[in-house]
Amino acid sequence: MQSLVGKLSSDAARYGKDADGIYADAKAKEAETAREERRALRLDIGEGFLELGLVMSSLYFLSKRRFFPIIGGVAAVIGAALGIAGSLV
């Protein structure tokens, strides 16, 4: 009976150490996931601005209004900057 209690006590201590290791690993993976989500958001928003720039610039050919390519260029620069920022993080 005493040996069984000793074995269960040592198993409980070992499982406690294993749980601490698993918890630390899970926290590290959670931080990595949050970082990748922020990166993906920057890349998605950058892509949206690049597409907006393309659409605004192509509206110039339909309307011949000068402000469409200007707005499109600004949107494309913002999209490129966000894409670069997302790639560097």
Place 1 in a pLDDT band, splitting at 50, 70 and 90.
low
Q: How many domains does the chain have?
A: 1
pTM of the full structure: 0.69
Q: Which domain holds residue 9?
A: 2-88
Q: Convert the pLDDT of each residue in 45-59 to its tens digit.
A: 999 999 999 999 888
Would you say 74 and 52 are in contact if contact means Cβ atoms under 8 Å apart? no
Distance separating alpha carbons of residues 88 and 86, to the nearest angstrom: 6
pLDDT in tens, 6-33: 777 777 777 777 788 888 899 999 999 9
Task: Tell me the C-alpha distance between 71 and 49, whole Å.
Answer: 11
Instruction: List Cβ neighbours of 36 (8 Å cut-off, separation of 6 or more).
Output: none
